[in-house]
A and B are shown apart, each in its own frame.
Chain A
Amino acid sequence: MLQGIGGSAGYGVGKVVMISNEVPVYEKKQVMDTESEMARFQKALDAFVENTTAMAEKMKREVGEQNAQILEGHVMMISDPFMQEEIHKRIEAGECAECAVDEVCTMFVDMFSQTEDELTRQRATDIGDIRVRILKLLLGLEDVNISDVPYGTILVAKDLTPSMTAGIVKENVAGILTQMGGKTSHSAILARALEIPAVLSVENLLQSVRSGMMVAIDGCEGYCVLEPDQETTIEYEKKREEYLASREELKVYAHKETVTGDGKRVELFGNIGKPQEAAKVLEFGGEGIGLFRTEFLFMDNTKLPTEEEQFLAYKEAASQIKGKPVIIRTLDVGGDKDIPYLGLEKEENPFLGYRAVRFCLKEENIYRIQLRALLRASAFSDIRIMVPLVTCTEELHRVKELVEELKGELEQEGISYKKDIQVGVMIETPAASEIADLLAKEADFFSIGTNDLTQYTMAVDRGNAKVAYLYSPYQPSVLRSIKRIIEEGNKAGITVGMCGEAAADPLLIPLLISFGLGEFSVSPTSVLQTRAAISKWTKEQADKVADKVMSMTTAKEVEMYLKEQSIS
């Protein structure tokens, strides 16, 4: 068994085809007629640009923009005036074109490989690819073609270069094994786009396998078995089928409504940190945005973002999600999130200090700009305002007052906004949980932030390894708190959602259904599995599990019981 890293999930068994892309051998010679040598280089270069552009077009159609961009990048790189000049200089000095190209490419491969930056180091592979292809064009050699490998092939290479993969026929390739490359390498990106299992960075791979050898690969855990016995082969084929079936099963949920086992509709939203990610939520089948963190607008800046900048970002998110609800959390600065130009003082207990709504209500001018931008963007969409870290009713009162004042301002200026914009509370402190009944009378919605709620309820710093074991949503105290918040919200007739990691935890789903959670907000990639998990539970079954769990006394007992329930 050889260990590597999982570059693309899935299982495959097949026969090895070795793909080599060695630098071709050429003869170094002095050239007298530099002019015709230059013409020879130019001809190869033109052919390179033409071929590469065609490959990029093909990629764009078959596997998407991202992979095509890498090949378009090759054209950009070779057209670099600095690189061209270096090659020309050498040819003019009497070097042959092969030699000039090889030397200049090697110079950049070395330069890129020596940097500390992973992304830049990966570009060395691209220049290596360019070098080999131009040399082959100069020498009249054929390019590697992997479009005609037989069905059931495991491709083995030192590294798959972009040009090699352009011709891949995904039906015929059972897996990819490489000796180099990480999770973000081109091989990995392409393998994932094509849904081909891949194991990368396998040490001594090329010495260990040979063409025609049977190999079983596990792209989830990142290892492969050479010459597997019959038992192992059967095991991998079974794993492969199960994996494909579960992926297909999830795809079934892509365009379905989110309903419980007995047909009750709940909302399933996605969490995002940047406006562009809204499109990703839609792509994965999300029905809205349950948490849009606005900190990026402030963190990626050297000064406060203007009302216009904020307005455009909020509007962008709303337009990407095509009019579906967008819950936007107002600035949640402080705690572990520092924004240098705000000049916040260092605190003894930052998580108990000057942060989130506390900061915003003190620095009202900053908050007004954000609220105004939100109101303006609401004219175009179903934007809802969520206030973080509320601990007492006065905070909510003040935010609502501000919103009303700003509505008046906009009215006078003749600027449109959504008149009945919702203002809700993120429930993430024990205080807010205790007064959930009071807050529910004045908030338009609740969203439970389970990460902070767990941390504050258990009084535990989850970054501290010595006490992190206490940080668990299965703690009876945390579960009781969640139950109360949902019940109080429902009693007052407002929607209660959840936007912490717990909302995507399949073990907790029966409890959340039983308590009556109306909206689940999870990371875009968890949408489908959450929808699938929700559909598995009827209210009656969920109630039974919840009754049992709420009578338990330890987190461990709860977790074990929920695990048993999720299997059966």
Chain B
Amino acid sequence: MVSQTVTVKNEQGLHMRPAGIFAKEMTRFQSDVNLVFNGKKINAKSVMNIIAGCIKCGCQMDIECEGEDETEALKAAVELIESGLGEA
């Protein structure tokens, strides 16, 4: 498993639109992708679970990827969050 800590930049946090973009991109990978935030593990391929996580702007979370393409998945996930998911 690989993981990295990132900070959410989106002004309103990971709300519907950015969460949707993120989840959709993550489904392209075979690996399991989870966000670890506030002690909870969130399935990053599910927009509903990300929204329920209430991840706000400035929050730090860990992205964990496990599976065959874990390195690529983590790289893509980190880049997406850091790019602000089309909002920053």
Contacts and interface: CB of A to CB of B under 8 A. Distances in A.
A83 interface: yes
A115 B16 contact: no
A302 B7 contact: yes
B86 to A, nearest CB: 11
Contacts, number: 55
Contacts of B23: 76, 80
Interface stretch (A116-124, A287-295, A505-513): A116-124
B20 A73 contact: yes
B42 to A, nearest CB: 10
Nearest to A108: B48
Given A117-B56, A300-B9, A73 B17 contact: yes
Interface residues of B, number: 23
| Candidate in B9, B24, B27, B51 with the most chain A CB atoms within 10 angstroms | B51
Contacts of A115: 52, 54
A117 B51 CA distance: 10
Contact of A81 (B17, B46, B52): B46
A76 B58 contact: no
Given A69-B17, A119-B15, A300-B58, A81 B51 contact: no
A73 B52 contact: no
A82 B49 CA distance: 8
A108 B51 CA distance: 10
Interface of A is mostly: helix
B78 to A, nearest CB: 14
Interface string A103-118: 0000010011001110
Contacts of A300: 9, 57-58
B27 A81 contact: yes
A302 B60 CA distance: 10
A15 B81 CA distance: 49
A77 interface: yes
Interface string A24-68: 000000000000000000000000000000000000000000000
A73 B49 contact: no
B59 to A, nearest CB: 11
Contacts of A120: 15, 51-52, 54
Contacts of A73: 16-17, 20
Interface string A85-129: 000000000000000000000001001100111011001001000
Interface residues of A, number: 21
A126 B51 CA distance: 12
A148 B42 CA distance: 44
Interface string B27-52: 10000000000000001011111011
| Candidate in A73, A77, A80, A81 with the most chain B CB atoms within 10 angstroms | A80
A76 B20 contact: yes
B4 interface: no
A117 B24 CA distance: 23
A77 B12 CA distance: 18
A189 to B, nearest CB: 13
A76 B47 contact: yes
Contacts of B7: 302
Nearest to A83: B48
A69 B48 CA distance: 16
Contacts of A81: 27, 45-46
Given A108-B52, A111-B52, A302-B7, A123 B45 contact: no
A478 B15 CA distance: 44
A111 B40 CA distance: 14
A117 B54 contact: yes
Given A76-B16, A80-B23, A82-B43, A112 B9 contact: no
Nearest to A84: B46
Nearest to B56: A117
Contacts of B43: 82
Contacts of B16: 69-70, 73, 76-77, 123, 126
Contacts of B51: 112, 120, 123
B47 A80 contact: yes
B21 to A, nearest CB: 9
Closest 10 CB pairs of A and B: A82-B46, A76-B20, A117-B54, A73-B16, A80-B48, A120-B54, A111-B52, A80-B47, A115-B54, A80-B46
Given A76-B23, A117-B54, A300-B57, 13 more contacts: A69-B16, A70-B16, A76-B24, A80-B23, A80-B46, A80-B47, A81-B27, A82-B48, A83-B46, A111-B52, A119-B12, A119-B15, A120-B51
10 contacts: A76-B47, A81-B27, A82-B48, A83-B48, A111-B52, A116-B54, A117-B54, A120-B15, A300-B57, A302-B7
Interface of A: 69-70, 73, 76-77, 80-83, 108, 111-112, 115-117, 119-120, 123, 126, 300, 302
